[in-house]
Structure 1
Amino acid sequence: MAQIASQLVGALEGLVGSRLPFRLQAWDGSVAGAPGAPVLVLRNRRALRRLLWAPGELGLARAYVSGDLELGPGEDLYQVLAEVAHFAERPEIRDLHLGAADLAGPAGRRVVGVLARVGALGPRPVPPPEEARQQGRLHSRGRDRAAISHHYDVGNEFYRLVLGPSMVYSCAYWTPQGKSLEDAQAAKLDLICRKLGLRPGMRLLDVGCGWGSLVLHAAEHYGVHAVGVSISAEQVALARERVEAAGLADRVEIRLQDYREIPDGPYDAISSVGMAEHVGSAQYRVYAAGLHGLLAPGGRLLNHQISRRPDLPGVPHSTSPFIDRYVFPDGELSPIGSTVASLEEAGFEVRDVEALREHYALTLREWVANLEAHWPQAVRLAGRGRARVWRLYMAASALAFEENRIGINQVLAVRTTSRGESRLPATREEWLLRPAERADGAELRVAKQGS
């Protein structure tokens, strides 16, 4: 079949009523589309079949993850994703589902005819193996463990390639003094410790502790006794190794434990960094009330969480099918206002909200660069499909933060005393003092075990 690409582009542009934001290269080598636009390569007929059975984001993701769809040589992933996202947000495209009604008219029948001629019609392709298959009641403890395992238990060495030596998997904090991702992650850990007002001897609980970076920083630099909990077995194993290697086993405990199972409050301070997105709206009151109950009166909570924009009138909210199937199964984003309201309903007094949207965009671009710089090793460690998932989701997320489609916020909240006291200093400047800068002259660094 000669010039497959021109037939496809002509039929699709007739259906959507406008030029496509990309050029198509078909498996016969033909290329068609707007001059100068990014090139998408259809490596086989199955790429079209995936799009026919799952029109839109999910079909595109399945085709890319499986390798049926590629970028043209030298194409910039960020540019392609931006062009496709802006095109998909147009009302006439957003309302197009390629269902029976859309394909019943002359333009739809032309698309079906072209697909039939090029051999793209056929049975539903099997999704790539990287797609999650969640079972059980939503946000039950068993299902949550499976969801967390899907994302985090993919190999600690793979994550080390992407995240770098810090092993911090959340938004960094880019200060003027910082020169690298490592500097920015260290600044973020220190910012959290300062916002929590950590001092030697305090008890810190880190909910969703990842590979233990925050509890290690807090114990070493602020002298706290820290407990980190995670339900990722691989994270917990490596975090425990890091604690032992740092000589901090007398002050840091890492547990394989659900946030709903923590029995040993009260804690003087609680951090939750990049964990609340996994809780889900149905469980958020349980989450907030549980943390309130674990915190001592006068204690502080630092809740670091991605947010989405509020729903617009007439535009129903929809979860990204790619993110839900391939990246964070059962994850949910809420507007920052809903998060603040839920924390207040649980009894917290919210004292400060800091938006870090631009910081996360920079962080994600650094992670993508790390992944691409170590691509052969990443494929060897995690498989080509999973490496492609991570590249796609991190690049798309960077653009979403840059374009204000999602945000990230640190919320500082307090469990006030029975008399309504917050025990916070009077100004933000005082909140952020390090121990050595405070009036009591507490030591900045605490000697490690055995030193």
Structure 2
Amino acid sequence: MPDAALRLTRLLEQLLGTPLPVRIRAWDGSQAGPPGAPMLVARNRRALRRLLFKPGELGLARAWVAGDLTVEGDLYTALDLIAGLVWERDEDAPGLTRTLRDPGARAAVRGLVRLAGPPLPPAPPREEVRRRRGRLHTRHSDRRAISHHYDVGNDFYELVLGPSMVYSCAYWPAPGPGATLEQAQHDKLELICRKLDLKPGRRLLDVGCGWGSMAIHAAREHGVSAVGVTLSREQAAYARKRVADEGLTDRVEIRVQDYRDVDDGPYDAVSSIGMAEHVGAAPYLEYARALYALLGPGGRLLNHQIARRPQRDESTYRVDEFIDAYVFPDGELAPLGTTVTQLERAGFEVRDVESLREHYALTLRHWVANLEAHRDRAARLAGPGRARVWQLYMAASAVAFERNRIGVNQVLAVRPPESGGSGMPLRARTWGAKTA
């Protein structure tokens, strides 16, 4: 009688010291676990070998990307249920090293090894980043990391992001029928333009411009001259075509350029939307100072950036293992307070902070729905493994925002003029009406 699922469930519960919150179906067709719960499907023994070799989220991710592990039922519910086992273990909870001092835990591991069978370990899926030696966040390493994430194919991103081609948190209205991703992304770009007080004749620098959406919106709707910089050649080519199609080549310039090499200031405003996560903790002050130097007195910066919660050990800012290995190589997340401090150290006066955490969860759920609605085409465009990477990354990120493990914030800062004024309205958040 097939019993791999029951044996696997009992051994994992013995090792973890807690009941599994999900149901398991094993490679022999057997099932075990709470009735009605989402089902983790281990399609072969290799799925277990991946978990044994790399316990935690990276092992789970490798099994998912390779297609060895799938979920039947609601993916969000499954991720929510296992969050406490994988991502949210208490800092004071015993780690695996301490757990394995217990004879029962060691016996469970031996049982899992026998159940998994040889050989061990499997090679990582080819979609995983192959690490190279050298310093992080050099111009060369940043170009390589950006290419890994953004040069997946513009057709693939069109499928996921929709017509707006905006790859950052949208700005949603109050819950109700009729809200669309496209409108919410338009409203986000408009919100940023109003916070930056963009007007005809002013100059905007969009750092990490992506496919050109912010630069195009600012030029078309607010009459500015915009420069967008990106390290992705695929993005730049796509953005330039959009600019030409909009008839904005006289007002929008798209460059393949590192922000550290921009030297044609002063600008009246700088937008950095979903780019600062790539900068890194060590160079962050350099980033802030570079943007400060590119602004004229009274110029505004809108820094839209994902933040993580403070933790006891602040020696690393690296993103989760799965995201670092498959999605954003070398990405680093800092707490909001650290970001504000660095901007202030660079000379900025921080004038407003707005959290959009729930907005990003909604945005990600829409992206996942787009991907799942075109699953076969996504697999053809990017490859089956890469499509699974993006599905897991976006769904898990949505759950992380919903559970308040991470947040996203718009920080509005000003380069103060010598007079001490800021040019800001006396009452904050008066960007509800379009400026003249």
Deviations, residues 344-392 of structure 1 (Å, cap 9, x unaligned) = 1000011111111111111111111111111111111001111111111
1:126 corresponds to? 123
Q: Report if aligned partners of 1:296, 1:415 keep a CA contact under 8 Å in 2.
A: yes
Distance 2:149 2:333 in 1: 17
Matched, 1:167 2:168: no
2:123 maps to amino acid: V
2:81 corresponds to which residue?
A: 83
**Aligned position for 2:33:** 33
The verdict on how the C-alpha distance between 1:319 and 1:49 changes in structure 2, with shifts beyond 3 A counting, is same
Take 1:126 and 1:245, find their aligned partners in 2: how far apart are those partners?
A: 45
- State the Cα distance separating 1:422 from its structure 2 match: 1.1
Q: Distance in 1 between matches of 2:395 and 2:92?
A: 22
Task: Indicate whether 1:140 and 2:138 are aligned.
Answer: yes
Partners of 2:18 and 2:289 in 1: CA distance: 51
CA contact (8 A) 2:11 2:112 kept: no
TM alignment of 1:170-249, pairs within 5 A: 170-176=168-174, 179-249=179-249
Q: Which amino acid in structure 2 is aligned with residue 170 of structure 1?
A: S
1:179 is displaced (CA, Å) by: 2.2
Secondary structure at the aligned position of 1:27 is classed as coil
Q: How does 1:29-428 map to 2 (within 5 A)?
A: 29-72=29-72, 75-88=73-86, 89-91=88-90, 95-97=94-96, 99=97, 102-103=99-100, 105-135=102-132, 136-176=134-174, 179-312=179-312, 319-428=319-428
Contact in 1 for aligned 2:127/2:386 (Cα 8 Å):
yes
- Flag the 1:256–1:226 CA change in 2: closer, same or farther, 3 A: same
**Cα distance in structure 1, aligned partners of 2:307 and 2:430:** 28
Distance in 1 between residues matched to 2:307 and 2:196, nearest whole Å: 21
How large is the RMSD of aligned CA atoms in angstroms? 2.1
1:64/1:142 CA distance change after superposition, 3 Å? same
| CA positional deviation for 1:231 | 0.2
**CA–CA separation in structure 1 for the residues paired with 2:316 and 2:280:** 18
Separation in 2 of the partners of 1:53 and 1:122? 11
Secondary structure of 1:47's match?
helix
Tell me if the contact between 1:195 and 1:432 (Cα under 8 Å) persists in the aligned partners.
no
Is 2:2–2:29's contact at 8 Å kept on the other side of the alignment?
no
| Structure 2: distance between partners of 1:367 and 1:12 | 33
In the alignment, is the contact (CA less than 8 A) between 1:360 and 1:398 conserved in 2? yes
SS state at 2:282 partner: helix
Is the 2:203–2:224 contact (alpha carbons within 8 Å) kept by the matching residues of 1? Answer: yes
Q: 8 Å contact 1:3–1:30 — kept in the other structure?
A: yes
- Give a deviation string over 1:329-354, Cα, whole Å, max 9, x none: 11111111111111010000111111
> Which amino acid letter does the alignment assign opposite residue 332 of structure 1?
E
8 A Cα contact 2:279 2:287, kept in partner:
yes
1:9 aligns with 2:6: no
Distance in 2 of aligned mates of 1:382 and 1:300 = 38
Q: Give the SS at the match of 2:271.
A: strand
- How many residues are aligned here? 432
Letter in 2 for 1:81: L
Q: Secondary structure at the match of 1:428?
A: coil
Confirm or deny: 8 A CA contact 1:48 1:120 kept in the other structure: no
Mark the runs of 5 or more structure 1 residues left unpaired by the alignment: 437-451
Task: Name the stretch that deviates more: 158-167 or 1-10.
Answer: 1-10
Deviations 1:171-221 (A, max 9, x none): 111124972111100000101111000110111000000000000000011
Shift in Å, 1:153: 0.4
Conserved? CA contact 2:49–2:116, under 8 Å: no
Q: Which amino acid in structure 2 is aligned with residue 120 of structure 1?
A: G
Distance 1:227 1:92 in 2: 45
- Normalising by the residue count of structure 1, what TM-score does the alignment of the two structures yield? 0.91
Q: Are residues 429 and 277 of structure 1, via their aligned partners in 2, closer, same or farther at CA, if it must alter by over 3 Å? A: closer
Distance of aligned partners of 1:420 and 1:376 in 2 relative to their CA distance in 1, 3 Å threshold: same
Q: Distance in 2 between matches of 1:213 and 1:219?
A: 10
Q: Residue 227 and residue 111 in structure 1: after superposition, are their counterparts in 2 closer, same or farther (change >3 A)?
A: same
Name the aligned partner's letter for residue 152 of structure 1.
Y
Asked whether the 8 Å contact 1:27–1:43 carries over to 2, the reply is yes
Percent identity (aligned) = 63
Tell me the CA shift for residue 313 of structure 1.
7.8
Structure 2 spans left out of the alignment, 5+ residues: none
Residues 308, 334 of structure 1: 8 Å contact kept:
yes
Which one-letter code corresponds to 2:49 in the other structure? R
Secondary structure of residue in 2 paired with 1:372: helix
Describe the shift of the 1:313–1:387 C-alpha distance in structure 2 as closer, same or farther (beyond 3 A): closer
Would the aligned equivalents of 2:318 and 2:333 in 1 still touch at CA under 8 Å?
no
- Deviation per CA, 1:103-137: give whole Å up to 9, x if none: 45432343244334434343321111111124221
Q: Deviations over 1:257-307 (max 9, x none)?
A: 001010101001110000001000001000000000000111111110111
Counterpart of 1:95, as a letter, is P
| Equivalent pair of 1:134/1:143 in contact (CA under 8 Å) | no
- CA distance in 2: counterparts of 1:92 and 1:424, whole angstroms: 42
Aligned partners of 1:115 and 1:121 also within 8 Å:
no
